[in-house]
Amino acid sequence: MPVSHVVLVHGYSVRSLNAYANFPALLQAEGYANTTIFLSAFNSLDDAITCDDLAVALEDHISKLEAGAAPN
């Protein structure tokens, strides 16, 4: 399987990465390496953070993946 990255993005009011349940394990069972699965972790409940801010952060995250850099 070619190297593919999977970015899981949680919903607006989610407070925990536990929201992903066993999605990462299911992806690994399908052959995705743990190092290619990224779980988003951002505070979406802060009123100072807008949807545009979240979109920019996600775009930056994906750009780093495409460039081969490890996103933070």
pLDDT of residue 53: 83
* Cβ-based neighbour number of residue 36 at 10 Å: 15
Going from the C-alpha of 3 to that of each of 21, 32, 54, 60, the distances in angstroms are: 23, 8, 26, 20
d(C-alpha 59, C-alpha 72), whole Å: 13
pTM comes to 0.56
Going from the C-alpha of 63 to that of each of 28, 53, 56, 71, the distances in angstroms are: 23, 15, 10, 9
Q: To the nearest whole percent, how much of the chain has pLDDT over 70?
A: 74
Nearest alpha carbon to residue 17 among 41, 33, 37: 41
Query: In this predicted model, what pLDDT tens digit does every residue of 35-60 receive, in sequence order?
Result: 887 777 666 666 777 778 878 888 88
